Amino acid sequence: METEKKVAWSELFFDLVLVFAVTQVSALLHHDHGWEGTLRALIAFVPIYWVWVGNTVHANTHDADHPLDRLALFAAGLCALMMALALPEAYGDRGLLFAGAYFCARLVLAGLAHGRSRRLRPTPVTLSVLLSGPLLVAGGFLDGWARTGLWALAATVDLAAPRLTRRAMMRLDFDSGHLAERFGLFVMIALGESIVAVGAPAATSPHLSTGSLTAVAMAFALACSLWWVYFHLAATAVRHGLETAEVRADVARQVLSYGHLSLIASIIAVAVGMAEAVAHPGDRLPPGVTALLYGGCALFLATFGYTRWHLFRSWSVTRLVAAAAVLALLPVAALLPSLAALALLTAVVTALNLAELGFVRRRGELPGARSGRADILGP
């Protein structure tokens, strides 16, 4: 009987850097929540996310508690920390620091993964060393849209790398439980950032009004509802899908690498919207903030339609309907005070969770996947 691979303490220590990095991405988006600001924040988030994904996949397929692997993970953590430090001015004076730290993180992983091999294998890490890393560094020497354009190209290369190197990825022997747990932990990190984004401004406010406290409670209820959407059914479905997939590398690419990028980015967007709502509960949210709050939540819910299709070749009807409802309510939310807009969104997500809970109970199953049936694992 095989022993299930456990998440190493060194991996959890590495995640602490990601907590700070996600906070910095949120701050970048909070500073400029227009379309251009949102695009720049996403472009900056992809390299950070890819550093985490690369090291997570390596830890999944190797012994993360080996001293050399630990030291490499610490070195990558230092690089990720430098990237996070550079983020507030990544499109300003710290662009080269951001790009150089990313390049170093990928060089560390490439040395660990290919150091003993005499030939260069086509992997996502190889492409990042040969293409996306140099593109980021080159962009660090430029300004304005020239930098943004090169960094966007680098992000595109990173996103395309798992598909371009599919043959090499298929040779990897993934541990399903470990991989599903690691990506679930990253979702938890993003949800934790949403709580920090809401609580920190309120804690430093000289006066906490009843409206502010109510908004904090409502934002926390929304964070809990988002947690429920993922961890009540979807987390088990991801693991089940990985374990039963004919080609695990394809599921890992579509559902984990791509799907969770969308999930985590959408949570960050919602966190920015919640923070603004808590800061000004009696005022209307600016249009950009309303789009982040409602659009981010709609993207979060709609992503489960994408992931469920790649897991089980069926649609998550309840979540797609809920996503459409959130988008339909966006114009209404723009006319409401922040607290009311936040309450309306919380009500929709809570209603979704209650509907799915009723669906599971009517089927006579609990979300522990005792039967292993895909139609129970995600409505």
Q: How confident is the model at residue 158 (pLDDT cuts 50, 70, 90)?
A: very high
Mean pLDDT of 88-116: 91
Does position 199 have pLDDT exceeding 70, yes or no?
yes
| pLDDT tens figures, 287-334 | 999 999 999 999 999 999 999 999 988 888 999 999 999 999 999 999
Main-chain phi, psi angles of 143, to 5 degrees: -130, 165
At a CB cut-off of 8 Å and minimum separation 6, what does 319 contact?
229, 301, 302, 304, 305, 352, 379
CB atoms closer than 10 angstroms to residue 336: 16
Answer with the residue of higher pLDDT: 32 or 371.
32
Does position 353 have pLDDT exceeding 50, yes or no?
yes
At a CB cut-off of 8 Å and minimum separation 6, what does 21 contact?
48, 80, 81, 83, 84, 87
Mean pLDDT of 112-128: 77
CB 122 within 8 A of CB 168: yes
Q: How confident is the model at residue 367 (pLDDT cuts 50, 70, 90)?
A: very low
What is the rounded distance in angstroms from the CA atom of residue 326 to the CA atom of residue 323? 5
CB 277 within 8 A of CB 215: yes
What is the rounded distance in angstroms from the CA atom of residue 202 to the CA atom of residue 210? 12
Q: How confident is the model at residue 366 (pLDDT cuts 50, 70, 90)?
A: very low
Partner residues linked to 284 by β-bridges: 337
| Overall pTM > 0.85 | yes
CB 211 within 8 A of CB 285: no
Structure-derived torsion over alpha carbons of residues 330, 334, 339, 343, reported in degrees to the nearest 10: -20
Closest CA to 157 of 228, 102, 94, 202: 102
Question: Which pLDDT does position 371 carry in this prediction?
Answer: 40
Helix (H, G, I), strand (E, B) or coil at 337: strand
Does position 155 have pLDDT exceeding 70, yes or no?
yes
Partner residues linked to 210 by β-bridges: none
Mean pLDDT of 235-259: 89
- Residue bearing tokens 């990720």: 80
- Classify residue 313 as exposed, middle or buried by CB count within 10 Å of its CB (0-12, 13-18, 19+): exposed
**How far from chain centre, in Å, is Cα 149?**
22
Does position 1 have pLDDT exceeding 60, yes or no?
no
Q: Please give the share of the chain, as a percent, with pLDDT higher than 70.
A: 93
* Helical segments of the chain, H only: 9-31, 35-61, 67-86, 95-114, 124-127, 133-140, 144-164, 166-169, 176-204, 210-229, 235-244, 248-251, 260-279, 287-290, 296-312, 317-333, 338-362, 374-377
The DSSP 8-state label assigned to residue 230 in this structure reads I
Mean pLDDT of 78-102: 96
At a CB cut-off of 8 Å and minimum separation 6, what does 160 contact?
none
CB 312 within 8 A of CB 236: no
| pLDDT tens figures, 4-30 | 788 999 999 999 999 999 999 999 998
Closest CA to 378 of 315, 302, 299, 296: 315
Does position 111 have pLDDT exceeding 50, yes or no?
yes
